């Protein structure tokens, strides 16, 4: 793996090397390992999430070595460089038409992709539901037993290669039409109410105590979050700026699958 990463990084630094077979093959081999789940863009360790920048470099280089091709699926025709993922039955993954999982993404056994989209470099854990029109952007890391409700948008983060992707940890519930972009991390079993928008600069305000606590780029584990607004002074006057409000915590006494749907209702918030 070390030799593979060195070749990829060398080609990323000097793209003329892609004309040499060994470097182009290193890119293709990396994508094959990524597609098979033997590699991933980011991994969680004792010190938190770590990005494998060279894997992201390989994805970017793949667009240079791959050729445009016509792909036909029944009456549908596509023209692109990245083929669709194959071997879904053997992998134990359910994909409902016209759901799309792109080559270079990995979906674990037992996950379900409704008519949504999983982009190259992404990873979706076992037992996770990618609901209708939900999109899992390039390199996004989605844990196990996560629910991405209808219309959820997880942003893709390919460049720069060192940038952290969007990460949704195990057991999280992401409500309808939520948007999570710019490498935001939603920690284990957190719940986002419908229409929450999180960017790297969004203030995520814990309002459960006597004084607010502000987070950015991270939703703490088991938090229940809804959309919010706070006033900000501009030269022309005061205006409401979007934020997110942590209004409580999921209760440990509630069964996980039930609480995914009831946690928001406990706080009188629509799922």
3-state secondary structure the chain: CHHHHHHHHHHHHCHHHHHCHHHHHHHHHHHHHHHHCCCCCEEEECCEEEECHHHHHHHHHHHHHCCCEEEEECCEEEEECCCECCCHHHHCCEECCCCEEECCCEECCCCEECCCEECCCCEECCCCEECCCCEECCCCEECCCCEECCCCEECCCCCCCCCCCCEECCCCEECCCCEECCCCEECCCCEECCCCEECCCCCEEECCCCCCEEECCEECCCEEEEEEEEEEEECCEEEEEEEEEEEEECCCCCCHHHHHHHHHHHCCCCC
**What's the confidence (pLDDT) of residue 76?**
87
**What's the confidence (pLDDT) of residue 34?**
98
**What's the confidence (pLDDT) of residue 92?**
96
Across 115-138, average pLDDT? 97
Across 68-96, average pLDDT? 93
Pairing between β-strand 112-113 and β-strand 94-95 as defined by DSSP bridges: parallel
Across 213-242, average pLDDT? 96
Model pLDDT for residues 257-267, shown as the tens digit of each residue = 455 555 555 65
Across 130-141, average pLDDT? 98
250 pLDDT band, cuts 50/70/90, is: confident
Model pLDDT for residues 49-65, shown as the tens digit of each residue = 999 999 999 999 999 99
Across 254-258, average pLDDT? 50
Structural domains of the chain ordered from first start: 1-68 (1.10.166.10), 89-267 (2.160.10.10)
Left, alpha or beta for 21 (phi > 0: left; psi -120 to 50: alpha)? alpha
Model pLDDT for residues 180-215, shown as the tens digit of each residue = 999 999 999 999 999 999 999 999 999 999 999 999
């Amino acid at each position: 793996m070390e030799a593979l990463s060195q070749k990829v990084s060398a080609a990323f630094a000097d793209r003329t090397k892609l004309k040499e077979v060994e470097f182009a093959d290193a890119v293709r081999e990396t994508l094959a390992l990524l597609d098979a789940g033997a590699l991933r863009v980011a991994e969680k360790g004792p010190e938190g999430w770590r990005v494998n920048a060279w894997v992201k470099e390989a994805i970017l280089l793949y667009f240079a070595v791959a050729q445009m091709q016509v792909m036909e699926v029944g009456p549908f025709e596509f023209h692109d460089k990245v083929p669709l993922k194959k071997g879904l039955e053997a992998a134990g993954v359910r994909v409902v038409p016209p759901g799309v999982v792109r080559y270079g993404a990995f979906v674990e056994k037992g996950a379900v992709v409704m008519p949504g989209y999983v982009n190259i470099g992404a990873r979706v854990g076992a037992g996770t539901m990618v609901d209708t029109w939900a999109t899992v952007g390039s390199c996004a890391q989605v844990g196990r037993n996560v629910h991405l409700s209808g219309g959820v948008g997880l942003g893709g983060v390919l460049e720069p290669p060192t940038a952290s992707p969007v990460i949704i940890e195990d057991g999280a519930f992401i409500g309808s039409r939520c948007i999570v972009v710019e490498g935001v991390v939603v920690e284990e079993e957190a719940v986002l109410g419908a229409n929450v928008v999180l960017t790297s600069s969004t203030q995520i305000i814990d309002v459960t105590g006597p004084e607010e606590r502000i987070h950015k780029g991270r939703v703490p584990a088991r938090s229940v979050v809804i959309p919010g607004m706070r006033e900000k002074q501009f030269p022309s006057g005061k205006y409401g700026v979007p934020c997110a409000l942590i209004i409580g915590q999921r209760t440990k006494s509630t069964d996980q699958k039930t609480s995914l749907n009831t946690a928001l209702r406990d706080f009188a918030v629509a799922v």
